[in-house]
Structure 1
Amino acid sequence: YEILEDCLIAERIEALSESRTRKKLTKSSRYLFFDLGVRRAAAEEGRRLPPRVLGALFEQFVGLELLRATRQTVGEVRLRFWRDPDGPEVDWIAEGEDRWLPVEVKWSEAPTGRDARHIQTFLSEYSKAREGVVVCRTPRRFKLTPKITAVPWQEIPRLAESLT
């Protein structure tokens, strides 16, 4: 994958692998193609995509938009992900200087509290994370739990700004 990084075709996203409560977290990196069209061509996907593939593409799109938005912020913001091989995972963790924002991505217009359960787990284990978001296709933001909000994907730039 190093050649893809050197050619600016893919971005490496490091795993958040530090935990006081979990013994086993994913340590390997994750890669995002700079362009979803390139990713689709490489995967030889057709025109009609099943919902599972649409969800994966949407997750990568949100990751790319978070990367772009964090690079435009004044402070230092880093994008990572969190995964326990035996259970929960959070798609993206935007790390600000003193605050973390867990981000779950759902290909849905109406996510539920169940869609936020892994963020809830993350919030209980990491004190730097005070709230979380589920980025989705909803037309407007709404609360899923007292600490977790569903937000439209169009608000991604505001999420990055909130960390600085």
Structure 2
Amino acid sequence: MLRIFIICMLIMAPLAAPLTAQEGDPTVGVEATDQTMNNAIAAAQQSLPLFLCTATNAEGYGPEGGFLKVQVPVKSREIEHEIIWVGPFAAWDGENFAGILANQPNNMPGFNRGDQFDFTYDMIVDWSWRYPTGANYGDYTTRVLLSWAGDEAALAKYTTPPFAQEWSCE
């Protein structure tokens, strides 16, 4: 059976858009077996601990401009998961998180953009941080989507590597 991920395509809109419900945000369907996207998710998950220990404060609150992309199981004939940005967010105990839905869900009845959403660490597939200096860190899956779209100008706005070399958890 072909599984399809719905990837929210809003790249920077959550940072500037008011938290009002919209009629579905732009999405891109990606096959669950797509190796390029799966590699991006794996890289994002591998760097997630570094992002969290660098960006969250002592109480577990994420930084201004910080978002997590969460894979949510849904009941739909077309897809098994909706992937949606959440931010701001808080990491309560390293396993349990809460945040504000930054996009309008397409397949999550009862939830709207701006609603609080609780999730667990294992649901996180990507992270994003628009740093105060204007640098854009993370966004591993967004980088893949932009490369597929051939949007070199948008890709140039992201740092290489996707995290700052000086970040440390020590």
Q: Same fold (TM over 0.5)?
A: no
TM-score under structure 1 normalisation? 0.30
TM-score under structure 2 normalisation? 0.29
Greater length-normalized contact order (CA 8 Å, ≥ 6 residues apart): 2
Q: Which has the higher helix share?
A: 1
